[in-house]
Chain A
Amino acid sequence: MIDDDNFLERLRADARQLRFEPDAMMSSRIAARVRERIAAEPQAGIAQILARWFRPAVASLATLALVATLGIQWAEQSHDTTTLDSMVPTQSVDISVGGDTFSVE
């Protein structure tokens, strides 16, 4: 009895002849049509080249703009934020009790 690996290897050797070989005519036809179709799209090529350069540039600028906007907004918000210290009165308060006046800071 033949083992699994040997079986596959022998089958592989025999199956090699099942490979389809295109003749010269078919190969020429395919190559010609490919070339024809490639040549028929020069404008798309230019568009692709432009897109290749512009897409990353636009993406980078958009990211920078977004980061800048968020940064400014955050800075403004943090500037306006009322802190506990700012709520403490800076001037002293005078309290009169029984004719005496006390100053509380």
Chain B
Amino acid sequence: MSTTSMFGGAAAGSLAFDRLVFGVEKAPTRSATNEDPIEARAIAAVKAGDAASYDYLVSKYMKRVVSIAWGVVRNAADAEDLAQEAFVKAFESIGRFKTGEPFGPWIYRIVTNLGLDVMKHRKRFRHEEITDAAPAERRDRTDLPAISNELAARIDSGIESLPEMQRLVARLYLVEELGHSEIAAITGLSEGTVRSHLSLARGKLKEKLADLHGGSND
């Protein structure tokens, strides 16, 4: 299906269709209430059966959802599939979504859980012999032109060397710039556990990147 057909024809006249442009994503709300009235109306319309209104939610959260997916699976093709799956899954269970709450943390949670499932599946069914070099296979730097400079590469490498949950929390905090409460909502961990993971990650990153930021772990 082409982009034109995606946003044309049947979608015309749907709620907030004129706002369907990429790049409208704003920083996620930190409160538990939905501060975007268009988003709230779109959710209400989708719940009432207007599937076309879902376009607004897809376009608004597209970038962040793909980025979070990529952060977990580290592969553009898989991130694309995950993002697609997350949006479909969210649509299918929109009836259970609490009215008035922001859509962001919910869809981020769905895509994160899907990503973690993929990683578990990969670990379980990996036939190759696991070697020390195996984690490097997860990296797909050709997907990320930004990791072209030394600083970014060092930070990326530092985050990647962390244990799974510390890596996830560190990535959501450092790269996606989400707050503790948002990370807690996405991962299903308590805020205290998020802070604990972040503290452990900070210690390890400080050690690894001491020369970059002048830090030491003592």
A and B co-occur in one complex: yes
Residues of A within 8 A of B (CB): 1-2, 4, 7-8, 10-12, 14-22, 24, 26-39, 41, 44-45, 48-49, 52
In the complex, chain A residues whose CB is within 8 Å of the CB of B83: 22, 30
Q: A18-B174, A35-B1 are in contact. List 4 more A-B contacts (CB 8 A).
A: A14-B155, A16-B175, A32-B6, A48-B95
Contacts A1-B214, A18-B175, A32-B3 given; does A27 touch B62 at CB 8 Å: yes
A1 CB contact (under 8 Å) in B55, B177, B216: B216
In the complex, chain A residues whose CB is within 8 Å of the CB of B70: 20
Q: In the assembled complex, how far is the CB of residue B59 from the closest CB belonging to chain A, in whole angstroms?
A: 7
In the complex, chain A residues whose CB is within 8 Å of the CB of B156: 18
> Are A38 and B202 in contact, CB atoms less than 8 angstroms apart?
no
A52 CB contact (under 8 Å) in B54, B95, B159, B176: B95
What's the Cα separation between A34 and B66 when bound, in Å? 13
Q: Is B22 an interface residue (CB 8 A)?
A: yes
Q: Is B103 an interface residue (CB 8 A)?
A: no
Q: Is B152 an interface residue (CB 8 A)?
A: yes
In the complex, chain B residues whose CB is within 8 Å of the CB of A41: 92
Residues of B within 8 A of A (CB): 1-3, 5-7, 22, 49, 51, 54-55, 58-59, 62-63, 66-67, 70-71, 76, 79-80, 83-84, 87-88, 91-92, 95, 143-144, 146-147, 151-152, 155-156, 159, 173-177, 198, 202, 205-206, 209, 213-216
> Are A20 and B205 in contact, CB atoms less than 8 angstroms apart?
no
What's the Cα separation between A32 and B88 when bound, in Å? 11
What's the Cα separation between A8 and B83 when bound, in Å? 28
Contacts A1-B216, A14-B152, A36-B1 given; does A7 touch B206 at CB 8 Å: yes
> Are A1 and B54 in contact, CB atoms less than 8 angstroms apart?
no
> Are B49 and A33 in contact, CB atoms less than 8 angstroms apart?
no
> Are B213 and A7 in contact, CB atoms less than 8 angstroms apart?
yes
- Interface centre among A2, A37, A38, A52, by most B CB within 10 Å? A38
Q: In the assembled complex, how far is the CB of residue A94 from the closest CB belonging to chain B, in whole angstroms?
A: 78
What's the Cα separation between A44 and B93 when bound, in Å? 12
> Are A34 and B88 in contact, CB atoms less than 8 angstroms apart?
yes
What's the Cα separation between A1 and B156 when bound, in Å? 22
What's the Cα separation between A19 and B69 when bound, in Å? 11
What's the Cα separation between A38 and B53 when bound, in Å? 12
What's the Cα separation between A28 and B67 when bound, in Å? 15
A19 CB contact (under 8 Å) in B2, B51, B62, B176: B176
> Are A1 and B215 in contact, CB atoms less than 8 angstroms apart?
yes
Contacts A20-B66, A45-B49 given; does A31 touch B215 at CB 8 Å: no
Q: In the assembled complex, how far is the CB of residue A11 from the closest CB belonging to chain B, in whole angstroms?
A: 6
